[in-house]
Amino acid sequence: MPCVGLRGAFFTKSLASLLYSATRRVVRSSIVDLNLTTPPRRVFHKSSASHFDFGDRANLANHYFEHLRRFAERSKNMNVQSVVEDLTQTCVVLRTVLRSSKDEKEKEEIVLKHIKAYADSGVQVNDFAKGSRGKKRSRDEALKSASTPQKESPTKKDNQALTEEERKEYADFLATKKNLEAELSALKENSEQQESMKEIMDLLHEYNDIKDATQVVLGALANMRGVTVVSLEWFNVSESLSMYKHLAGKIVVLDFFTYCCINCMHILPDLEALEKRFTIQDGLVVVGVHSAKFANERDSSKILSAVQRYNIGHPVVNDAKLSMWRDIGIVCWPSLVVLGPKGQPLFVLLGEGHREDLFLYTKIALKYFKSLKQISNDSIPLKLAQHILPMNKGSLLFPGKIHSFKTDAGEKLVVSDTGNNRILIMGKDGKVEHVVGGYSPGLKDGDFETARFNAPQGVCVLKDDVFVADNENHAIRKINLKTKTVSTIAGTGSQGRDYTGGKIGKEQELSSPWDVAIYQHEQKGETVPVLLIAIAGSHQIWALFLEDTIWWKNKQYKAGTCCNIVGNGKEANRNNTYPHAASLAQPSGLAVSQELKSVFFADSESSTVRRVCLDDGKVFAVCGADNDPSNLHCFGDQDGKKYSAKLQHPLGVAWNKFDQMVYIADTYNHKIKKTDSEGNCVTVCGEGKPSKNSIVGFFSMKNLLKAVQSTDQSSVKNVLFQFNEPSGLAVSQNGDILYIADTNNHSIKTLDLKDIQKIDVLPVVLPAEAWNRGDHTFNFKVAVSTNEANLSLTFNPTFNDDLKLNAEAPQKWSLNLPSIDWNASQSNGDLSTPLSIKIPPGNEEKQMHIMLDVMTCRATECIPKKLSVVYTIVRDAAAPAAVVEKKELNIR
């Protein structure tokens, strides 16, 4: 369970050394072994007197309780960071002590002793909008500080109140600020003397880096003076939350995460289960603190997309400058910090796999503080972001991957419509022939309509079978196009912890499979298909042997065996001639080259493209990052060869056998690049900044021209070249077209590789029956005149039990008309807006489909629902030409 860290990653090197000269720099690496198979390194604050001897397990509990007894005395000289450091190791020991006990009551007593020891430390975290250093102060002092106007600069009296250490730190900050101002002045002068555009651009990038660093220093100065820093941006709430207003009297779980991190995604189901067990009214609030690794992830619009994509239902704050990260002293992703009702740190949990402990800690904390009458049952201003998706996003929702394959009827495409939890099989014109799965997530085999997926990603085809990496089901699924059925062929449906494998089919557990590809393996003069799987969750590449196979070193595998073939499970960028000695970092895209007998893979967390020779398993670099295997922060946006090229979290690759190139979805740079097998990497297209024009996902080039009311086709192309986190690629069967899953633009784009100025949006057209797969389906019939008619419809959802509509969330509908001669005033709208349809003259009975996206809530949780409405329009000469209907949709 990797726990990865960051200290000062966004500073220039000189500034980082100034700000953190006394602080160890933590790079992206394992911090502790959460199973305690090896001794964790010591992370106690220097004032800590005790050290746990993990070799003496018999006395570990005694050492732990002695530590608790001595903590009250030591805590007098500790601030938030030192308490969190103390808790980091103490909670590892606590977990070990709890595992040694079989008695549930005894476990609860141990946890209660722990809570009592830390509850009265007097140390409290600062409010979200503050940039403080975690100085120890009371809640009343914090409230007073938050409401009292602050001085612009410290007076002599203020400086006298500071400690010697604080005065020195303040002087260092002033000196750093002065040096940076001098650097900025020199930089401006130098920029006037440069002759080449490249040099000027380099200077501008350096200028921006120094400017950002200057803001950090100014923020640190503000922290010392108690000045409020710029407000943080929030999601899923209607107003910014305050620790001492909204969250006072709550047990708060702070989830420090970054949305690129697969381990961070793994704990979301644990947090969701925790929130269902203990509600806000019970006294629990989970707050996601997004502390970005990559520059792209600092953008709030990207975090909003991630919140929507992963269906995060609790408040999330964008800690773009890592102010909270540094305030509290976080060292890795993911980290959970459990706070008491006065903001006091109680527990720290590093990495994933803590569901049982988290439930126990929360249960005892709520019980204890309720007995002290310190728990509040007040609500918080929740406003879920799921419905902020653009109304005109079209048929797709966060498409993840795409694959091209050949049939007797011509070229076809398979698209993982990830946000809609379904697979689409379509012609190259975008007309969908099969919809597999439904809107709601699940793990269910069966026919195309009853089958369910959960955030499917990678897809590939072998004859009549489509293989799917069913990511959040931790399973591999098979779609048979002849029998029109779906079956599970590997994975148990739950996240696995197995790094070796070797079991058959559904007996073998997996961890977040992200992509799949077929390799035709040669043996005894014939070929057998092997399904390669990018297992992002365990940082490995696995194989599912579809037939009896003789693999590397003549090892034999029976058909159906699923096992690891590349990677030791440690997250790193380590290449090796021995495949099980190599280390990968969240492989997320696969591209097989039969010609080179290799698989290229997008190693997203190392920001590289790498290659495995499928003759012997040798792993080596292609392009991106550098040759330091532990450096997972070497990313950027630069063409070049091998290590001189820089990528930023690539998620997709595709091999083109015609030009012998690997095409790369450089996801966080919002670009498409390509490299040859020697690592010569160049940009193909992309503006390098995300499109914020949601119409890109819905209109073709022709309609886009009309929509923007422009005859300047070049301006439209500029919009289309603005990708937004493209994640999947596929090359057409003739090698001329590159299909691009432009994920956050909810679209598939086509790029002409012979003329890269030609780009278009593939108009994805769903069959009518696809609109019948909501959580609830309603059927209505209405008669209108055979002459031209007008139909106005309004819907009013009603509910049984304690469900009700969330008044603050947008409630939306989208309309699919039966033919192009029908017209509507708008194809999407809010529930309060009537649907107005103009029906042409005719006698034929037709159906139109309406999909309603509504957000329902009960006291304990909010539940998004999709309501499918099928309206049959009957033509009758005696029927009225204008019909107004209001329909109630009763949801049970």
Q: What is the pLDDT of residues 715-762, one digit of tens each?
A: 445 556 689 999 999 999 999 999 999 999 999 999 999 999 899 999
Q: Is the pLDDT of residue 546 over 80?
A: yes
pLDDT confidence of residue 66: 87
Instruction: Identify the band that residue 178 occupies on the pLDDT scale cut at 50, 70 and 90.
Output: low
CB-side exposure of 513: number of CA atoms within 13 Å? 36
Instruction: Count helices and strands (H / E) in the chain.
Output: 15, 45
The residues facing 887 across adjacent strands are: 795
Stretch among 5-9, 526-530, 559-563, 841-845 having the lowest mean pLDDT: 5-9
Name the pTM for this structure: 0.78
Distance CA 448, CA 458 (A): 18
Stretch among 121-125, 579-583, 697-701, 727-731 having the lowest mean pLDDT: 697-701
pLDDT confidence of residue 706: 43
Judged by DSSP in three states, 766 sits in: coil
pLDDT confidence of residue 80: 92
Q: Is the pLDDT of residue 193 over 70?
A: no
Instruction: Identify the band that residue 855 occupies on the pLDDT scale cut at 50, 70 and 90.
Output: confident
DSSP per position, 334-371: SEEEEE-TTS-EEEEEESS--HHHHHHHHHHHHHHHHH
What integer is the mean pLDDT of 260-284? 95
Structure-block tokens of residue 127 = 């409010």
Largest CA distance in the chain: 93
What integer is the mean pLDDT of 549-578? 98
pLDDT confidence of residue 659: 97
Stretch among 129-133, 392-396, 665-669 having the lowest mean pLDDT: 129-133
Query: What is the pLDDT of the chain when averaged over all its residues?
Result: 82
For 443-454, the pLDDT digits (tens) are 999 999 999 999
Residue at 662: amino acid letter: V
Q: Is the pLDDT of residue 41 over 60?
A: no
What integer is the mean pLDDT of 842-848? 93
pLDDT confidence of residue 38: 28
CB-side exposure of 210: number of CA atoms within 13 Å? 20
Stretch among 163-177, 493-507, 634-648 having the lowest mean pLDDT: 163-177
pLDDT confidence of residue 131: 43
pLDDT confidence of residue 829: 78
**506 vs 850 pLDDT, higher one:** 506
pLDDT confidence of residue 700: 38
352, 99 contact by CB (below 8 A) = no
**772 vs 377 pLDDT, higher one:** 377
Q: What sign does the dihedral 272-277-282-284 (CA atoms) show? A: negative
Distance CA 191, CA 168 (A): 34
Q: Is the pLDDT of residue 227 over 50?
A: no
Of all residues in the chain, what percent carry a pLDDT higher than 70? 77
**CA–centroid distance for 315 within its chain:** 15
Helix, strand, coil percent values for the chain (each to nearest 5) = 30, 30, 40
List, in sequence order, every beta strand (DSSP E) within 327-482. Answer: 335-339, 345-350, 402-407, 410-417, 422-427, 432-437, 446-447, 456-462, 465-470, 475-480
pLDDT confidence of residue 22: 27
Tokens 């059925």 sit at which residue?
485
For 323-342, the pLDDT digits (tens) are 999 999 999 999 999 999 99
Q: Give the single-character DSSP code of 312.
A: -
Distance CA 463, CA 479 (A): 11
Count of all residues that appear for the chain in the document: 892
For 110-125, the pLDDT digits (tens) are 999 999 999 988 899 9
Instruction: Identify the band that residue 196 occupies on the pLDDT scale cut at 50, 70 and 90.
Output: very low
Instruction: Identify the band that residue 179 occupies on the pLDDT scale cut at 50, 70 and 90.
Output: low
pLDDT confidence of residue 290: 97
**128 vs 182 pLDDT, higher one:** 128
Distance CA 655, CA 228 (A): 51
Cis previous bond, 579, omega within 30: no
- In the sheet that holds 402-407, the strands lie side by side as 402-407, 410-417, 422-427, 432-437
pLDDT confidence of residue 719: 59
Distance CA 62, CA 420 (A): 52
**84 vs 213 pLDDT, higher one:** 84
Structure-block tokens of residue 88 = 């980091």
Which of these, 27, 15, 12, 40, lies nearest to 632 by C-alpha position? 27
Structure-block tokens of residue 862 = 């909010």
What integer is the mean pLDDT of 396-423? 96
